């Protein structure tokens, strides 16, 4: 067998798209860094963001990472779709298999682990402490470290664009194809190490949020008075804590196979590739609930606000979440009903899968009855939510069809399946996260995103989704499988062309989103970054605690820790007409910033790179560097924190009270 | 304006094409017993699910319209957050639906289990035609043990005669799929999966691998020719004319990665070749997996527990 690390720059030399993309990325990166240095922003970037342990700032950084990765993942999608529209019958498209196969793998991995997961953690970070009336998360440094490890993973996966290859194995990398025999170059190693980094980060994040939610709720906020978004976060993080270690263990086994000649998943030496398929799906199925339950949580926050009405069936929501928590571990085999496991196994997992659709369906009814007899305002967050409900039930329909094992035998690995999971993941997850994003944006910055562009973005995504994915159901039924670099039947071309049109409509939606952000950045630049204190409840009808503080919230969130007595804590305050406190403050204790997370992240990134390319001295160096940074921080870091003086708190709270009073008069 | 016109024509044409070309949908136009049953299940479950989904979709739109903020005439109940009656129905309706579907699913899983021989009422009592399929990088090898022939990327089978396909893979996991005839089934290395199919009509049906297996995966297609008994016998006779013999050396040669392989025939297939592929002992001097398991089982209790492994290769009937 050849040297896996041979020819790292082959792709750059041979595939012009890769070369130009890499050049463009490098040029943009250099320009951005140069711009930051020239404008003298580096110091403030370092102090306020890179070393920050403030959950709100980390949340924003996660979201920025997710948006960049969304663009990257979407660029992959455009390439796949345009290529497929040309690669039928006589046509051969423009991407050879070695390249096409990397793209669908990278698209899947990036979208799930480096787009959806960071976006999720961005929302968790920003929202959860505010919603439970806490001043930060339980472990602020760990939070910063999680971000930088995620960041390192994202950079590592993108380095594979220029240096070497990415895996050509699909997003769950079944061996023996992903073993040394099927993938002798370093593509799969990039896959393994970038996901190990993200896995460590995500697991630590889950611990952080579980502890935060269980230990740091405001007095009076019992679990049954907690906002549903926090409940969904509890379940989602509990799932992460149970499943990510499984995935990471599987990656360690695969690493041993690939680096040290072990035989966990090989065809020879009594290895068993089928075990891998079970490992990854024991992870993979709950993972979809990790992503989608918080999406349900977001809807449960947004729909009541824009219906000006209480959430319908609060406790039913929680029970539904808990039922899903348990059941989601009992359905993984539905991802391989076609393995020939026999009647008993297939029947059990088929029925379990259907049962899990019950609590999911109940939630849909909850939102519907929340809208019922409300006063619905069509602001962008609500549009996303209604689009989600409308679309997600369709995805649920095909999902239930897939759960009938004997029907799945006709859908498995076909375009029908790809259509189904994009139906639920775009309609369910992406729409909801974007709803949450536009919903909480004014809380983070004190002003709303451009409304017209927001509405345009929604409609483009919504229409684009249907145009881009419905033909996929049809070609699936016609017999098109997934991961196809070329199709024999030229008659399918028309479907693929329509899908390309759909993808470009979605592109307009993403463009509108990016434009919204650019407008927001321009607005911020005009103010030289000093965003004025904004009013607490920009949408009106806010119900949970995050809407009770100024927008953007002060670094300490709550000047005095609120006392909670009902589920909709802020709504209750408004009903009682509680005035904002403007005097009698105590100094607030805050954790200090630290650069340790950043350095550990950088070491981890280089460590990953060195592992991929078998540069053992660098592996040792970076490993020692990372551990040493950690130890240094533990023993010599600044753990005392600092105090924000009472006068400063008072100053902020007075300004906030003035704004609020003005708002009330107007 | 011209552009808009052109674009709308293009769209109109595209939509029409989609509708018109809708008449070649393999999964919904099956020609075999198993695939017809699967089609029925798909259609029934789709319709049942629509009973819930359509009302929800309508409700979203209607509620959004009726309870829009500007409609001050609509009733407004800001503090209404629960109703036991409604919540009861919210759980009960999906539970009923799922119960129906569960019964349906269990019935069909039982009825269509791929490893089960088809009922006599469907397949008669003609002896089953056995095909041993091996997914190679990146082509299919089909061995006809009863006839002593083998082919690459082509299946011939008499219409109306039950076919048993045993399948395995040499390297990566693949899947055998003829959409018009029946289910997807994994062809896995070290394993043997059994699939019973029957085609009711003459015709040529597309088959392919339905599990990504590397660079040449897209080309892993074959034709399933469902023909009369006479034509089948003529085809077997033709295959027997081939000078190629499929012994272990020839197999190892064929197993080398290649793409775009034309249809090829072999006459004379080494006995036990398929067994050896499944048990990974084609290369001379290697011990078959089954043997390894027996040795392990004899050695210790641990070995015994770990060797419940039985790929279950069916010998020629
Ligand atoms: C925004 C529009 C999107 C488009 C146009 C798109 C398009 C595609 C295409 C063309 C494929 C390859 C299908 C095939 O193998 O035949 C694919 C696969 C996939 N997509 Fe997307 N996608 C989009 C968004 C997303 C999002 C938001 C996620 C997840 C959060 C996602 C997750 C995946 C996964 C996991 C795969 C499977 C990759 C594999 O085969 O291993 N996609 N997508
Ligand atoms: Cu298996
Ligand atoms: Cu699943």
Q: Which residue's structure tokens are 């110091």?
A: A43
- Residue A382 contacts residue A306 (beta carbons within 8 Å): yes
- Using CA atoms, how far residue A267 sits from A250, A259, A270, B65, in Å, is 17, 16, 7, 60
| Backbone phi and psi for residue A47, each to the nearest 5 degrees, phi listed first | -70, -45
> ipTM of the predicted structure?
0.92
- A406 Cβ neighbours under 8 A, 6+ residues apart: B37, B38, B41, B105, B108, B109, B111, B112, B183
Radius of gyration of the CA atoms of chain B, in A = 27
Q: How far is the CA of B97 from the centre of ligand 3 (A)?
A: 20
Please tell me the distance from the alpha carbon of residue A512 to that of residue A453, in angstroms, as a whole number: 6
- The alpha carbon of A61 and the centre of ligand 1 are apart by a number of angstroms equal to 24
- Which ligand gives the minimal distance to the CA of A289? 3
d(CA A659, CA A68): 34
Number of A to B CB contacts under 8 A, please give it. Answer: 291
Q: Is A111 exposed, middle or buried (0-12, 13-18, 19+ CB in 10 A)?
A: buried
Q: Name the CATH architecture for the domain at B127-270.
A: Sandwich (2.60)
- The Cα-based distances of A291 to A328, A428, A620 in angstroms read 12, 9, 35
pLDDT digits 0-9 by tens, B28-84 = 999 999 999 999 999 999 999 999 999 999 999 999 999 999 999 989 988 888 889
Domain ranges in chain B?
2-70+85-111, 127-270
Question: Taking CB atoms and an 8 Å cutoff, what residues of chain B touch A339?
Answer: 186, 188, 193
Structural domains present in chain A = 1-226 (1.20.210.10)
Report long-range pairs for B240-249 (Cβ below 8 Å, ≥24 apart).
Answer: B240/B147, B240/B148, B240/B149, B240/B267, B241/B265, B241/B267, B242/B149, B242/B266, B242/B267, B243/B267, B245/B269, B245/B270, B246/B143, B246/B150, B246/B270, B246/B273, B247/B273, B248/B273, B248/B276, B248/B282, B248/B283, B248/B284
3-class state of residue B313 by DSSP: coil
Burial of A99 (0-12, 13-18, 19+ CB in 10 A): buried
Question: Which residues in B lie closer than 8 A to residue A399 (C-beta atoms)?
Answer: none
pLDDT in tens, B209-242: 999 999 999 999 999 999 999 999 999 999 999 9
Q: Is A406 on the interface with B (CB under 8 A)?
A: yes
Cβ–Cβ below 8 Å for B185 and A477: no
Distance, in Å, from the CA atom of A267 to the CA atom of A275, rounded to the nearest integer, reads 12
Output the average pLDDT for chain A.
93
**Residues A390, B61: C-beta atoms closer than 8 Å:** yes
- b/e map of B58-91 (b: 16 or more CB within 10 Å)? ebbeebbebbebeeeebebeeebbeeeeebeebb
A514 vs A510: CA distance, rounded Å: 6
Q: Which of A408, A413, A417 is nearest to B175 (CA)?
A: A413
CB-based burial of residue B196 (10 Å sphere; 0-12 exposed, 13-18 middle, 19+ buried)?
Answer: buried
Residue of A270, A338, A375 lying closest to B185 (CB–CB): A338
- Reported as a single tens digit per residue, the pLDDT across B182-199 is 999 999 999 999 999 999
CA of A415 to the centre of ligand 1 (A): 11
Taking only residues 33 to 92 of chain A, the set having a beta carbon closer than 8 angstroms to any beta carbon of chain B reads: none
- Block residue for tokens 């997992």: A349
The rounded mean pLDDT for chain B is: 89
Strands A642-644 and B129-136 turn out to be: unpaired
Nearest CA to ligand 1 atom 36: A108
Structure tokens at A559: 């000047």
Contacts of B35 (CB under 8 A, 6+ apart): A410, B27, B179, B180, B181, B182, B183
Question: In 10 A of CB A638, how many CB atoms?
Answer: 11
Q: Cβ separation of B212 and A482 shorter than 8 Å?
A: yes
- Per run of 10 residues, the mean pLDDT along chain A (length 666 residues) is 69 75 89 90 90 95 96 95 94 91 96 97 97 94 96 95 90 94 93 97 97 96 95 97 96 96 90 92 95 97 95 93 94 94 95 94 94 94 97 95 96 97 96 97 94 97 97 95 94 95 97 95 86 88 92 92 90 85 88 93 97 95 95 88 92 90 69
- Rounded to a whole number of angstroms, the distance from the CA of B287 to the nearest CA of chain A is 11
pLDDT band at B19 (very low <50, low <70, confident <90, very high): low
Eight-class DSSP state of B300: -
Whole-model pTM?
Answer: 0.94
- Using 50, 70 and 90 to split pLDDT, how confident is the model at B11? low
């Amino acid at each position: 067998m050849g040297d896996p690390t041979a020819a790292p720059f082959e792709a750059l030399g041979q595939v012009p798209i890769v070369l130009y993309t890499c050049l463009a990325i490098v040029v943009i990166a250099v320009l951005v860094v140069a711009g930051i240095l020239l404008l003298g922003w580096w110091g403030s970037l370092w102090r306020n963001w890179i070393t920050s342990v403030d959950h709100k700032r980390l949340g924003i950084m996660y979201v920025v990472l997710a948006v960049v990765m969304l663009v990257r993942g979407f660029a992959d999608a455009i390439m796949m779709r345009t290529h497929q529209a040309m690669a039928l019958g006589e046509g051969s498209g423009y991407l050879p298999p070695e390249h096409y196969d990397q793209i669908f793998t990278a698209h899947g991995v990036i979208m799930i682990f480096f787009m959806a997961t960071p976006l999720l953690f961005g929302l968790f970070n920003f929202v959860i402490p505010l919603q439970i009336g806490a001043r930060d998360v339980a472990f602020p440094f760990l939070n910063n470290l999680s971000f930088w490890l995620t960041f390192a993973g994202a950079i590592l996966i993108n380095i594979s664009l220029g240096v070497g290859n990415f895996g050509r194995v699909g997003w769950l990398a079944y061996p023996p194809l992903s073993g040394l025999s099927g993938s002798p170059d370093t593509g799969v190693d990039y896959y393994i190490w970038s996901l190990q980094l993200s896995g460590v980060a995500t697991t630590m994040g889950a611990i952080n949020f579980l502890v935060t939610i269980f230990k740091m709720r405001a007095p009076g906020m019992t679990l049954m008075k907690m906002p549903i978004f926090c409940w969904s976060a509890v379940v989602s993080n509990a799932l992460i804590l149970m499943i990510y270690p499984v995935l990471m263990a599987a990656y360690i086994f695969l690493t041993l196979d690939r680096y040290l000649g072990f035989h966990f998943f090989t065809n020879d030496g009594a290895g068993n590739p089928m075990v891998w398929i079970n490992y990854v799906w024991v992870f993979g199925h709950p993972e979809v609930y990790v992503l989608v339950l918080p999406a349900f949580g977001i809807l449960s926050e947004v729909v009541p606000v824009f219906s000006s009405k209480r959430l319908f069936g609060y406790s039913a929501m929680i029970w539904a979440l808990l039922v899903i928590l348990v059941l989601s571990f009992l359905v993984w085999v539905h991802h391989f009903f076609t393995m020939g496991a026999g009647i008993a196994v297939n029947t059990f997992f088929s029925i379990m899968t259907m049962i899990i659709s019950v609590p999911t369906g109940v939630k849909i009814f909850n939102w519907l009855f929340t809208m019922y007899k409300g006063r619905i305002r069509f602001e962008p967050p609500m549009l996303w939510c209604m689009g989600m409900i409308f679309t997600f039930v369709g995805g649920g329909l095909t999902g239930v069809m897939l759960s009938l094992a004997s029907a799945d035998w006709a859908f498995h690995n076909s375009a029908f399946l790809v259509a189904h999971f994009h139906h639920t993941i775009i309609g369910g997850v992406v729409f909801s996260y974007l709803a949450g994003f536009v919903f909480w944006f004014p809380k983070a910055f004190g002003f709303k995103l451009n409304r017209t562009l927001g509405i345009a973005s929604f409609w483009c995504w919504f229409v684009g989704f249907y145009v881009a994915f419905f033909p996929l159901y049809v070609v699936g039924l016609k017999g098109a499988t997934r991961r196809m670099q070329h199709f024999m039947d030229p008659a399918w071309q028309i479907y693929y062309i329509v899908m390309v049109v759909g993808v470009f409509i979605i592109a307009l939606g993403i463009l509108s989103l990016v434009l919204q952000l650019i407008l927001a950045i321009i607005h911020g630049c005009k103010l030289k970054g000093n965003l004025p204190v904004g009013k607490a409840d920009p949408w009106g009808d806010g119900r949970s605690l995050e809407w009770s503080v100024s927008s953007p919230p002060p670094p300490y969130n709550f000047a005095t820790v609120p006392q909670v007595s009902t589920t909709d804590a802020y709504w209750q305050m408004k009903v009682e007409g509680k005035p904002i406190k403007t005097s009698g403050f105590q100094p607030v204790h805050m954790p200090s910033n630290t650069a340790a997370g950043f350095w550990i992240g950088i070491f981890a990134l280089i460590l990953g790179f060195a592992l991929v390319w078998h540069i053992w001295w660098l592996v040792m160096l970076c490993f020692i560097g990372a551990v040493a940074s950690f130890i240094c921080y533990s023993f010599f870091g600044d753990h005392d924190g600092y105090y924000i003086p009472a006068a400063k708190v008072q100053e902020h709270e007075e300004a906030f009270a003035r704004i609020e009073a003005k708002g009330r008069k107007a | 304006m011209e552009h808009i016109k052109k674009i709308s024509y293009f769209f109109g044409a595209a939509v029409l094409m989609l509708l018109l070309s809708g008449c070649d949908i393999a999964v919904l136009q099956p020609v075999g017993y198993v695939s017809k049953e699967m089609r029925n299940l798909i259609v029934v479950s789709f319709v049942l699910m629509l009973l819930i989904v359509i009302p929800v979709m309508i409700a979203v739109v209607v509620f959004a319209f009726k309870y829009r903020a500007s409609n001050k005439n609509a009733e407004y109940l800001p503090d209404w957050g629960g109703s036991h009656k409604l919540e009861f129905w919210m759980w009960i309706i999906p539970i009923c639906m799922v119960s129906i579907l569960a019964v349906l699913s269990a019935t069909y899983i039982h009825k269509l289990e791929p490893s089960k021989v088809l009922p006599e009422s469907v397949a008669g009592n003609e002896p089953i035609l056995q095909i041993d399929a091996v997914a190679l990088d990146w082509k299919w090898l089909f061995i006809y043990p009863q006839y002593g022939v083998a082919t690459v990327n082509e299946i011939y089978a008499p219409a109306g005669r039950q076919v048993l396909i045993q399948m395995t893979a040499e390297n990566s996991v693949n899947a055998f799929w003829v959409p018009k005839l029946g289910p997807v089934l994994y062809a896995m290395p070290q394993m043997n999966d059994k699939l019973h199919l029957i085609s009711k009509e003459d015709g040529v049906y597309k088959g392919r691998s339905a599990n990504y297996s590397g660079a040449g995966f897209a080309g892993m297609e074959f034709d399933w020719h469902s023909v009369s008994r006479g034509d089948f016998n003529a085809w077997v006779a033709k295959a027997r004319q081939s000078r190629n013999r499929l012994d272990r050396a020839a197999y190892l040669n064929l197993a080398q990665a290649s793409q775009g392989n034309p249809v090829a025939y072999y006459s004379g297939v080494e006995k036990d070749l398929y067994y050896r592929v499944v048990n990974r002992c084609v290369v001379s001097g290697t011990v078959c997996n089954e043997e390894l398991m027996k040795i392990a089982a004899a050695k210790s209790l641990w070995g015994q527990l770990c060797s419940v492994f039985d790929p279950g290769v069916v010998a020629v009937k």
